Chains A and B, each alone.
Chain A
Amino acid sequence: MSQAAISIENISKAYKIGLETKHDSFKSVALDFLKNPRKRFQSRFGDAEEDAEDTYWALKDVSFEVNRGEVVGLIGRNGAGKSTLLKVLSRIVEPTSGRAVMRGRVSSLLEVGTGFHPELTGRENIYLNGAILGMKRDEIKRKFDQIVEFSEVGKFLDTQVKRYSSGMYVRLAFSVAAHLDPEIMIVDEVLAVGDQAFQQKCLGKMGDVMRQGRTIVFVSHSMDNIAALCNTVIHMKKGRPSPKLTMEEGVRSYLDEASASDNLPLDQKPRTQAVKHDPIFYRLATRTEAGESVTVPVGGSVTFDVSMRGFSDVPGNLTLGIGLSNVRGQRVALFHSEYHQGKTFRGADDMTLSCIVPNLPLAPGSYSIDLVLADGFNMIERVERAGALEVLFTDYFGTGKLPTGKQSNLILPCSFSN
């Protein structure tokens, strides 16, 4: 008998395209029914059919084993199937075919604070969330003080969580989850929350869990977190997993894949959308004093022209964020229409926004440009690696030398004296 904590054998998961976003209505059912009575009746009231044309395989023949005590990082681009795999392993969605065996008590943490109710107090939510995550009442009672201490919200325990700051909310929610006592833990990118200090604390807690010999499957976009926690990496591409890789190999493979799509025109690049929609971002141009260019000297000025189309149906006060990330996938700068200038805009059929950055003090190196269209905190469309920008060495300080991208992200002036 296999000793592996998790054995996954040929798991596949198919989605009917459009199924996630298009809710059934009586009208559509009635129309479908008229078109093809028998088949449609079965598909509506029974099981989804397999139909090669409009089927999208989020996971295709995924097989691997995770040994007891192993910490596996799942990496991959958006839509590669990482989250779907976690949902299958957490029993939230069912595989279309294949089989997985989980040997041990499983806890999954795909979202921080699932089931938290804003009207309830911190104390009440600890009990409620604990129960939803699968803890018994006695267990929650026993760990209550630890949870409160870890969360640092002791003073506000009897305050409704709707009055909490978002940081406090996240800390409390993570603390409950961190005190689960599972043998197998399935964690989506929930560490990317809270302030830096709390993130460190969470990573520390994950590390403790690891050292106790728990098995962890962990999704992250942050190569830093992956490097800190995982001993094995699996790189998901289009629903298929890579063989198990070491940390080094995994990160390299991920970065290689990320640059492979850079040659596609922007309107064909993979993107994440909250609600399925035709691509909105379709053109990104970078301009410097020298005209359209993808290179800019350290400290130089650069303008981003972002063109969007066909989103007049998107409601809300929209904001545009332009993020720059370095080769390690670390975000180093964000230019945001609302944060920087308090500007929001409405959906339109076609519009181009220009963002002028007078001085870009980044270390020499390659940077990718991420675009995010959002309504407040609700992301509408996000394209990672929508474009690239190469920051070139220039004799910025007149010394002929500069910190490298490894030594410093930013090139800031200073003076030394004694």
Chain B
Amino acid sequence: MSQISMSATVQPTLVPARPAAAAPSGVETIIKPKQGWIGVDWAELVSHRELLAFLVWRDVKVKYKQAIFGSAWAIVVPLVQVLIYSGIGILAGFSTRTNGDAPYTVWMYAGLLPWLFISAAISSGGLSLINNQTLLSKIYMPRLFIPAAMIGSSFVDMLMSGLVFCGTMAFFILKSNFHWWPNWHIVFVPFLTLLLIITAMGTAFLLSALTVMFRDLRFIIPFITQLGIWLTAVAFPQTIFVFKHADGTVTDYRPWLALNPFAGIIQAFRWAITGEPLQVLQLTSSIIFGVVLFIFGAFYFKRVERRFADIA
């Protein structure tokens, strides 16, 4: 069926063949077209891992180089957002609608932190390839590293901001005279972080490849992140989707949020920190979606990668 389209596939296979007697280093590279969906060359990614580290380091360094407060911004920006959204939430009465006894500021922080990471993955990850065109057209390197490096540097930001979050929680523990503690579910945070990274990587792979193919996305991506903060229920509790009718019946629209794979992760982070009830359906959807997105994103990226240098 798709035989026709595959006839003109242009993709080199890079097979590290058996050691050739001729080459002193024994390295042999075969360049030829290959057809169809191409697997990701994990061995190559591993052998170039230093490059990934350098690219992450570059992004982090460049981001804060010219700012007078330098990397302090990585901490200040989320903190200010937490204060703004907490303030709005308290004024608007959202703060009384969370489940559990966690301070609203902590609750807000727990969701905003992973959200800021996701939104960075969507915006800078999505634009990473078209912002690094010379790396596509002038040199060969594992190109998956370009979006991956953006995720890496956003993760460094998240870690720094995470330290401040720990400080914030410590503050509230002291303030409550040791009555309030983070929920024991906090032990699941590493697992959720892994899920978050996988989802963010998949998103960045897919969006960055699509942005090379369709430049329109450059203009659409900012809207995705702006809309996302509302559609993902970051800045307000999910309980506002639960409607109590006059006759006492309750309609719960929260399961619909399972359609948004990011909502489940954000909610799960809040579950882990504050102990509010876990939305199992949402989290299940997030896990399935995250894994599928990662695999599909990487494969789609490899599939269109062969055309990057021609288009970029």
A interface residues, Cβ below 8 angstroms from B: 1-5, 11, 13-15, 19-20, 23-27, 29, 39, 42-44, 46-50, 68, 87-106, 108, 110-111, 114-115, 117, 119-120, 124, 127-128, 131-134, 136-137, 160, 183
Contacts and interface: CB of A to CB of B under 8 A. Distances in A.
A27 B216 CA distance: 9
B214 interface: yes
Contacts of B32: 95, 98-100
Contacts of B50: 131, 136-137
Interface string B184-222: 000000000000000000000000000001111000000
Nearest to A94: B10
Nearest to A4: B22
A98 B34 CA distance: 11
Given A94-B12, A111-B134, A115-B134, A2 B62 contact: no
B43 interface: no
A68 B31 CA distance: 18
A96 B139 contact: no
A175 B42 CA distance: 31
B147 to A, nearest CB: 15
Contact of A91 (B9, B21, B29, B62): B29
B309 A87 contact: yes
A284 B135 CA distance: 38
B65 A131 contact: no
A261 B28 CA distance: 41
B23 A183 contact: yes
B31 A49 contact: no
Nearest to A89: B31
A102 B214 contact: no
A115 B146 CA distance: 11
B254 interface: no
B139 A110 contact: yes
B244 interface: no
B20 A92 contact: no
Given A101-B30, A106-B29, A114 B138 contact: yes
A96 B6 CA distance: 11
Contacts of A91: 12, 14, 29, 31, 140
Contact of B33 (A1, A15, A49, A97): A97
B4 interface: yes
B223 interface: no
Contacts of A95: 10, 12, 31-33
Contact of B138 (A50, A92, A105, A119): A92
A20 to B, nearest CB: 6
A258 B189 CA distance: 68
B216 A104 contact: no
B25 A1 contact: no
Given A24-B213, A91-B14, A183-B24, 10 more contacts: A5-B22, A26-B214, A46-B2, A92-B140, A95-B10, A95-B31, A101-B30, A110-B138, A127-B54, A160-B65
B66 interface: yes
Contacts of A101: 28-31
Nearest to A135: B50
Nearest to A182: B25
B97 interface: no
A108 B22 CA distance: 20
B25 A183 contact: yes
Contacts of A183: 23-25, 27
B134 to A, nearest CB: 5
Contacts of A39: 4
Contacts of A48: 8, 10, 307
Nearest to B54: A131
28 contacts: A1-B21, A2-B22, A5-B23, A14-B10, A24-B213, A25-B216, A26-B214, A26-B216, A42-B5, A44-B213, A46-B5, A47-B8, A47-B9, A49-B4, A49-B7, A92-B140, A93-B306, A94-B12, A100-B30, A100-B32, A101-B29, A102-B28, A104-B27, A106-B29, A114-B135, A128-B57, A128-B58, A131-B55
Interface in B26-69: 27-33, 50-51, 54-55, 57-58, 61-62, 65-66
A103 B62 CA distance: 37
B176 interface: no
B21 A120 contact: no
A92 B309 contact: yes
B137 interface: yes
B311 interface: yes
